[in-house]
Structure 1
């Protein structure tokens, strides 16, 4: 899956981009009809240690799933966001199965 990653107000290092790509690729195991995925990385200027914002947007047929997490590091944010997206994709897949099961 092609992941469009945008780092706002900083340059993301290649290791971080590769880490995010690997995490997002795991989502295809749960739902193979992902059209597009976008990731936004932002650093908030504050004294708070939770100043890294990881936002992921996934387009699937007929819907758009968005997850936004604020953590100490982008890696932690990616892990939490991908886990949340996994749950959403599984739930969506189950709903679709039920819908088609009731039709036939």
Structure 2
């Protein structure tokens, strides 16, 4: 499993990167079919005081899975994005059947 974490228009943060990798490793333990993950962190000005965007794209067997969340801080955005990805992976796991 490889991770590609990019900070778009904001300074890089080692703590945020470590937090994200930790959360993704937990997801990888549950779903071994994950091959590669692209993570993008963006900052956007919003009147609702949100504007911290986390986008993740998982490469698995079959079509890619994508989720994006806009929250008030990046840690919360990572948590919600991974939760959305996990829901999609549960659906996909129920549809795909292993060939023996």
How big is each residue's C-alpha offset from its partner over 1:7-59, in whole Å with a ceiling of 9 and x where there is no partner?
A: 01111211010001111111112310112100000000334310101000001
Structure 1 moving runs of 4+ over 6 Å: none
More helix per residue:
1
Is 1:63 matched up with 2:60? no
Structure 1 runs not aligned, ≥5 long: none
- TM-score for the superposition, normalised by structure 2: 0.90
Structure 2 runs not aligned, ≥5 long: none
Q: Distance in 1 between matches of 2:56 and 2:92?
A: 17
**Alpha carbon RMSD of aligned pairs, Å?**
1.7
Larger Rg: 1
Map 1:5-24 onto structure 2 (within 5 A).
Answer: 5-24=5-24
- Equivalent pairs, count: 100
- TM-score for the superposition, normalised by structure 1: 0.87
